[in-house]
Amino acid sequence: RHTGKLLSSNVPCLTGRQVMDDLAHRLNRSVALDNDCCCFALSEAHTQQARQFSRIFGAIIGTGMGGGLVIDGQLYRGRNRMASEFGHLPLPATFMRRYNLPEITCGCGLQGCLERYQSGPGLLWLHKHFSGEQLKMETLLEKYRHGNASAVATVEAWIDMLGCTLAQLQLILDVDAFVLGGGVSNIEEIYTLLPGAMSRYLFPGLAPANVFPAVHGASSGVRGAALLLVEQDALMH
């Protein structure tokens, strides 16, 4: 936080670099910088849909998995700006046993991170692991929609694990809503399947938090980056 040096699991060449200072120097003006998930969360917390909520967790589930927590319109970043990096929590041992999964090494340097199993590539990896079939996302979803048994088994296992992840975030943060972005958020079925999956990992009687797709889709990160300046202004005045 004090040095401005970045730590990046998926873009290793940025690790240790002071990108914000470098950009500010090159452009000869001040620059606001944050990670894509925080920008996404900030954007989705500032929509008509989000107005009724004060605590929003924006989660990008695409090639990787990361999030941002916005409380009353402000991003909660934490001491090292590392808050909401939930994609790098370890997959619970329950799932390792239930689905006979190995611990995979993650780009961040840790083992068995959630994003290895629950991101878009994670879903395809799971299917390969279970069935031996290396499919593209479209094909897997097409098979799932036609009731193909192995595709259904993969998607059900994946939803089970993803539901647990959101339930655990809910138990820690007790947010009003999760807004999902990234490639996986375009799979329509997840919005009907996730609440049931989340309920299995919440106290009986506790309703799962709302889960919505992003209002601004793939443009939300950029919209959020623009909002960083609005946020900065609001903090200064």
Contacts to Zn ion by CB under 5 A: 88, 106, 108, 110, 113
Q: Minimum Å distance from CB 35 to Zn ion?
A: 14
Q: Whole-number minimum distance, CB 198 to Zn ion, in Å?
A: 22
Distance CA 70, CA 49 (A): 14
Question: For Zn ion, which is the closer residue by CB, 122 or 221?
Answer: 122
220: closest CA among 23, 47, 10, 4?
47
Contact 179, 214 (CB under 8 A): yes
CB of 118 to Zn ion, least distance (A): 12
> CB of residue 29 vs Zn ion: minimum separation in angstroms?
34
Choice between 41 and 106, CB closer to Zn ion: 106
- Write down the least CB distance from residue 90 to Zn ion, Å: 9
Paired strand residues for 59 = 67, 180
Residue entry with tokens 């692991």: 129
Helix 220-236 crosses helix 36-44 at what angle (to 10 degrees)? 80
* Residue 93 exposed, middle or buried by CB count within 10 Å (0-12, 13-18, 19+): exposed
Q: Is the CB of 104 or the CB of 215 nearer to Zn ion?
A: 104
CB 21 within 8 A of CB 4: yes
Cβ distance to Zn ion smaller for residue 117 or 144: 117
C-alpha span between 212 and 177 (Å, rounded): 7
SS3 assignment, position 57:
strand
CB of 110 or CB of 215, closer to Zn ion: 110
